[in-house]
Structure 1
Amino acid sequence: MFDALKQKWNRKKLTDERFAFLFDAPPENEVVVFDCETTGLDPKRDDIVSIGAVKIRENRILVNEALHIFVKQSRQISHESIAIHHIRHCDLNDAVSIEEAMERFLYFIGSRTLVGYFLEFDLAMINKYIKPMIGITLPNRREELSAIYYDRKIPMIPQGNIDLRFNTIIKDLSLPELQAHDALNDAVMTAMAYLKLTQKHYT
């Protein structure tokens, strides 16, 4: 009841009708897994450098339809950030504006459920740009990978001392480790973990 009222209120606040599809019924058996690489961990102060996203449809990761966007930066990227994601300012010569990146991201996700690791942070970064553009934050349903992992592990470890670090989850699930801190690679690894945790097959 409350969720329905919230969605109705958000729909009224939408200022750009091109994105009314965000409120459509989501496609059956589809979710989008995404990840952002950023200049830091403060959504108010830092910026998005790249976005990676993949769709899961019928328990299959559609890597051939993946989204991988690099975003132009108005400021030099710090050495600390480069040390993490290895994206330098000179690597962004063919990058797009944040406005174009957000539009492409919205058309890609549609009304699908969003899945991610440390999803609250990535959503805060996305919403920082989305709200001024369309008047609302993302209305999509969301699922946090670490929460799903915790729920699966807690019956086996009642004392609750569960390591929720991303690389620990990937290793524990016996999944291949791709190059870390690459937005698309992280999205693909998260998608594999999500499928395994939800007892679905993955490819």
Structure 2
Amino acid sequence: MNMPWFKLRGPVLDLEQLQRRDQLHPPAALDLCTLHDQRMVVLDLETSGLDMRRDIVLSIGAVVIEGGGINLGDQFESTLLRPAQKVSESVLIHGIAPSELEAGDDPAEALLDFMEFVGDSPILAFHASFDQRMLTRALKQTLGYKLRHPFFDVAELAPMLCPDNRPRQNSLDDWCTHFGLHVLQRHHASADALATAELALILLSKARHQGLQNLTALNQRLANWRQRQQANYM
């Protein structure tokens, strides 16, 4: 009797990793929790390049905004194990040497650790669509996990909340310079996450002064702002 061949699909995880994955918190619904009290995770990824279909996550940095400030005791940093990663032009930008990738954290463990760190909180990032898509693909390929957490783009919040007081360009460097923020190191996941969090604090303060007291209201303002932006380009 010929036995059928079965092709295994999805990542290979051990029992403990499967249990951790299945116990991850789903995202909390956006409610009326005040912006001051809302826990938010500010994320930055360093990747092997900018191709969202082929490039991979090399390092993760994140900090927490809560209680109207940055909780420096609640940070996340991990360089992932990528021993087969070839040296590319991106190394000149993020500076992650092949030796660091060869000594990195197991990707499944790093991603589980990160999602446990996130919990049910919303995520902020600068040019968030890139980080969201890269993280979504990494989680799916490595853990078989579907990311559902809402992302807020600080690169959208900044011009929306400061329409009459903004730099000519819309980069993280430009906004940090505009507000006099000192960035210790650029293109390093943890340092960029901290710089983004410092900028986000300024913007969240402006949001509250504009009558936006929670993420529900902020999300609605963003939706209206995007519609106006699209109408202006039509």
Scaled by the length of structure 2, what TM-score is found? Answer: 0.71
Tell me, yes or no, if the aligned pair for 2:38 and 2:67 is still in contact at 8 Å: yes
Indicate conservation of the 8 Å contact 1:115/1:143, yes or no. Answer: yes
Task: Provide, for residues 17-60 of structure 1, a one-character-per-residue CA deviation record: whole Å limited to 9, x for no partner.
Answer: 312x1244588521000100011001221111110001111011
Q: Which has the larger radius of gyration?
A: 2
Aligned Cα root-mean-square deviation (Å): 2.1
Q: Which one of 50, 63, 66 corresponds to residue 41 of structure 1?
A: 50
Deviation at 1:197, TM superposition (A): 1.2
1:90 and 1:102 map into 2 onto residues whose CA distance is 20
Distance in 1 separating the partners of 2:131 and 2:104: 19
Tell me the equivalent position of 1:22. Answer: 26
Identity %: 26
Query: Structure 2 unaligned runs (5+)?
Result: 1-20, 207-234
Aligned to 2:122: 113
The total of aligned residue pairs comes to 180
The residue number in structure 1 matching 2:90 is 81
Contact 2:78/2:105 (<8 A) preserved = yes
Look up the equivalent residue of 1:102 and give its one-letter code: L
Which residue pairs with 1:100 in the alignment?
Answer: 109
Q: Any idea what the Cα deviations from partners look like across 1:104-151, whole Å, max 9, x if unmatched?
A: 111000110100001111111111122242442x21122111111111
Q: 1:166 aligns with which of 163, 169, 172?
A: 172
Distance in 2, Cα, partners of 1:50 & 1:81: 13
Provide the residue aligned with 2:217 in structure 1: none
State the TM-score, normalized to the length of structure 1.
Answer: 0.81
Q: How does 1:1-203 map to 2 (within 5 A)?
A: 16-19=21-24, 21-24=25-28, 28-132=37-141, 133-136=143-146, 138-156=147-165, 162-199=168-205
Unaligned runs of at least 5 residues, structure 1: 1-15
